[in-house]
Chains A and B, each alone.
Chain A
Amino acid sequence: MTMDSKNRMIDVQDVYFKYPHNNENESVVALDGVSLHIEKGEFVGIIGHNGSGKSTLSKLLNAIIFPTQGDVMVSGLNTKDHENLWTIRQTAGMVFQNPDNQLVATIVEEDVAFGPENLGVPPQEIRERVDRALAVVEMQAYAHQKPHQLSGGQKQRIAIAGILAMEPECIIFDEPTAMLDPSGRREVMETIKRLNRDKDMTVIHITHFMEEIVDADRIIVLDKGKVVMEGKPRTIFKQVKRLKEIGLDVPQMTELAYELRSAGLEIADDVLSIEEMVDALCQ
């Protein structure tokens, strides 16, 4: 282990992961030699087609599963060492796709308290953490509600508060907006971006929606268990053809610019948002 990986939030070193296959002795390779690293305070988007290994990767980062080969280091701790397990899960929190299947308690504030209760935090401090976490996701008004009375977006914000109350250094979002309607998606994305911007939280955002990561610090593209592209959103998204080949979309405006270019119009190939499109067209 180099000094470098000590300071890194997450360091994935040449990781392979095989799922045992049902009946025969074959196994399915979900990750095929993945190396990547995430620095503290970064906002990294991870995209990939279904079966590209992105969910497997997210579970490896939270020590829910362990690499078949290679090492995953979280804040300098190897997920393979059993004594690190709880520290890693506390350091790298995880928000899942289905809001209904990650809320445990019958009352919102009790659910937010679930994580710190598991960590054995003293009651008075749990109370403070819960209030703080609910304030960050702007859900204080719902503290005494029942989870099933909330909208999908609100449930996801409660799930985020539940992770925040554990005071992690990094949060992994595994397609948190996939089951939400557009307004819920906006609520959740605003919360995630605010966490990264104001609270300096390291965010790893796995998603199908390209618009959500146009202002990420970095994007990692996975395909068939391998990292195939990595870089700034602008440099990734302008490779429209390559992304389409591996079954991925690009942001709407990037696609429009691409179509306009192929129709012969002189326009930049790295347009990401509507504002940029307006600027590019009005020149």
Chain B
Amino acid sequence: MLKDVTIGQYYPTGSVIHKLDPRTKILFTTAFVVMLFFLNNLWGYLATFVILATITLLSKIPVGYIIRGIKGLVLIIMLTVVLNLFMTPGTVVATLGPLTVTLEGLKVATYMALRLIFLVVGTSIMTLTTSPIDLTDGMEWCMRYIPFVRRYAHELAMMMSIALRFIPTLMEETERIMKAQKARGANFETGNIISRAKNLIPILIPLFISAFRRADELATAMEARCYRGGENRTRMKQLAFEFRDGASLVLMFVMIVGLYLTTWIQIPLLFPV
């Protein structure tokens, strides 16, 4: 199950997209996600599809890998579709017992499904093509321009990178604790949801205790290495905007404007405008 989640994973291929500055990618993804919610006809979604398909091809990430990322969200997408399909009032096109499908419902359901899929694909392309370190560095830079968040930009980025560093360590630890508890006769495989959840307690408690101990030791080790927050701190790797970033930014701007222009198209595609 956990293997299916591609959001937040890094898939190095060394493509042009991978080489872009993380800030360029963060900026584009943000603009893209906002734009997704402005789209009001299928022309826009068609254009979005073309843009995403081109970026995916350029990134050299296997299409199957990206589709797998959507699979984890099937349930949420289905739920959204079903709710919108039956709950939107309007012109009835079909009835299924007490349930009615309206034309408006069909339209909203399609848009919502496409929106969610493109949202997931768009953001996972960003994380798949950007190493966690670059991503946190890029985010730290972006956060410096957001009021209120600005003061904590360094701390937030540091927290994120420590979390990333400790995910594999804590996963290993969980596995070790599970084995230890199994050896003592614990049962994690059978029983209903409630008893299974209860069975997790002997895993969670040792895991929490050890996580706090680790945090304490890590904090001491960081202080011993002269860590004192973001003030006067330098970085070995500097983010550098290059020509390709400038070119991509121009392209990005054109694409976003293009997407916005589709909302003006009056020719119906599948659904009446």
* Chain A residues within CB distance 8 Å of chain B: 59, 62, 64, 86, 89-90, 93-94, 96, 98, 100-107, 109-110, 113-123, 126-127, 130, 146-148, 162-163, 166
Contact = CB atoms under 8 A, between A and B. Distances in A.
A105 B161 contact: yes
Nearest to B10: A106
B228 A93 contact: no
Nearest to A149: B168
A115 B235 CA distance: 10
10 contacts: A59-B220, A96-B224, A102-B217, A103-B165, A104-B222, A105-B165, A106-B133, A117-B236, A120-B232, A146-B168
B224 A93 contact: yes
Contacts of B132: 106
Interface of B: 132-133, 161-162, 164-165, 168-169, 172, 213-214, 217-218, 220-228, 232-238
Contact of A96 (B220, B234, B237): B220
Given A89-B225, A106-B161, A118-B225, A101 B235 contact: no
Task: Please indicate which of the listed interface residues B162, B224, B233 has the most CB atoms of chain A within 10 Å of its own CB.
Answer: B224
Contacts, number: 97
A96 B165 contact: no
Chain B interface, >50% SS class: helix
Contacts of A114: 222, 225, 227
Contacts of B226: 86, 89-90, 115, 118-119, 166
Q: For the complex of A and B, list the 3 residue pairs with the smallest distance between their C-beta atoms, beginning with the closest.
A: A102-B221, A101-B217, A113-B236
Given A123-B235, A126-B236, A148-B168, A101 B214 contact: yes
Contacts of B218: 101-102, 104
Given A94-B224, A162-B225, A122 B214 contact: no
B217 A120 contact: no
Contacts of B169: 100, 148
B130 to A, nearest CB: 13
Nearest to A124: B236
A116 B162 CA distance: 18
B164 A98 contact: no
A122 B214 CA distance: 30
Contacts of A105: 133, 161, 165
A96 B236 contact: no
Contact of B233 (A98, A117, A163): A117
A117 B172 contact: no
B222 to A, nearest CB: 6
B134 to A, nearest CB: 10
Task: Please indicate which of the listed interface residues A100, A121, A130 has the most CB atoms of chain B within 10 Å of its own CB.
Answer: A100
Contacts of B220: 59, 64, 96
